[in-house]
Amino acid sequence: MRDLSRAAGMVLAIIGLVWILQGFDVAFAPQSFMTGEMAWVAWGVVAMVAGGLLFWRGRSGRR
């Protein structure tokens, strides 16, 4: 279960990073509906924090 939590946390954090970059109009899809929208920056931060918590929970959980 710890490995699943860590993997899910890492994936969620990476998705959050992509959303943040999209919101700041930095990367990946210049014609995306997400490009330049600050709402995606906020959702990205939420996703990164949630991913970090999942990863940390998986790292420090019971063995």
Tens-digit pLDDT profile for residues 33-61: 888 889 999 999 999 999 999 999 887 75
Q: The whole model's pTM is what?
A: 0.82
Structure tokens that stand for 36 in this block: 């330049």
**What are the structural domain ranges in the chain?**
2-60
Contacts of 55 (CB under 8 A, 6+ apart): 5, 6, 9, 10, 13
Structure tokens that stand for 2 in this block: 């710890």
Q: How far apart are CA 11 and CA 62, in angstroms?
A: 22
Quickly list DSSP for 5-26.
HHHHHHHHHHHHHHHHHHHTT-
Residues 20-39: what's their mean pLDDT? 82
